[in-house]
Amino acid sequence: MVSGNAIAGIAVIALGLVLTPGPNMIYLVSRSVTQGRRAGLVSLLGVAAGFLVYLGAAAAGLATVFVAVPAAFTVLKLTGAAYLLYLVWRTVRPGGTNAFAPGELPVDSPWRLFTMGLVTNLLNPKIAVLYVSLLPQFIDSHRGSIAAQSLVLGGTQIVIALTVNTLIVVFGGAIASFLGARPSWLRLQRYFMGAVLGALAVGLVVDRSPASASR
């Protein structure tokens, strides 16, 4: 049904995205460092629920909606780019923050942790663009049900993302302590994160619409 090349392609993209600092990583590390691994894992359940929402939407034909209404996709891209540029400013400005040096957060209930993880992922422009623009490029209408192919490819992305994010939650505190004891590494990580987020913002702006990407 789905070719091995398609699964490998979406796996490589999923791994690259999850290893790139972004809203999900920032939130999960912040929660793990300030409230413990259990809070980080509960937050990760919310992130997982967000992935399932996108997966269901993709299987239901989300990309088709944006093909029919290109302006909606343009709004999504520009909003995502603006949000990423805001994260860049927060990261590289004097006294800025980064994923592994989070500020103190209030102690939240498990339900709020789950909800914030869900909302953070739903508003994550990287994930939105993945499911709207990139995933359709690996679907072949000659290989059977498009919905089934979307589920397989999206499921591959989710498995990779949750595996890496679990490691981030478990080892986030140790990484934060390591970087905290090495200020030069911490500054390097800040500027690297800012550069990556900036590149993602530019990529969103110049990215092709779903109509052209899925030809």
Tokens of 181: 């004891």
pTM of the predicted protein model: 0.69
**Region of 144 on the Ramachandran plot (φ > 0 left; ψ -120 to 50 alpha; else beta):** left
Mean pLDDT by 10 residues, the chain (215 residues): 84 82 80 85 95 87 65 68 69 60 68 92 81 75 80 93 92 68 65 69 62 42
Tokens of 40: 């980080």
User: Biggest alpha carbon distance in the chain?
Assistant: 55
**Region of 103 on the Ramachandran plot (φ > 0 left; ψ -120 to 50 alpha; else beta):** beta
